[in-house]
Amino acid sequence: MIQTILTVDDSRTMRDMLRLALVGAGFRVVEAVDGLDGLAVLAGERPDVIITDINMPNLDGFGFIEAVRDDADNRGTPILVLTTESDPDKKARARDAGATGWIVKPFNPEKLVQAIRRVAA
């Protein structure tokens, strides 16, 4: 069964990098450019895992995660937070918002897949 990953990031470079790594690992990828866009995509998609950036315009990662957790249809979807900060406060905030785990940028494809494996059935 091919798993679908939703990537939410305002950086085109980062979205392309994620796509390259994820498609290469056999995942199907859908993309969103910020939190609001991510919620819009979720109206029509049921991804197996969501990977989201924190710093984004319109709706940031924290707000996006909270909104997903408030959505009855998607509250059980694992969410991995992409962050360049290794700072524990950010992780704690992401966890409080409802993040399942995190990926520290710069990531490498194997790490990415490993993190997905940890949260996806």
Contacting positions for other proteins (CB under 8 A): 1-3, 10-17, 19-21, 23-31, 33, 55-57, 69, 75-79, 84, 86, 91-92, 95, 98-102, 104-111, 113-115, 117-121
Contact between 65 and 40 under an 8 Å Cβ cutoff? The reply is no
- Return d(Cα 71, Cα 15) in angstroms, integer: 24
Contact between 39 and 68 under an 8 Å Cβ cutoff? The reply is yes
For residues 7, 8, 14, 15, the Cα torsion angle rounded to the nearest 10 degrees is 50
Reduced to 3 states (helix: H, G, I; strand: E, B; else coil), residue 80 is strand
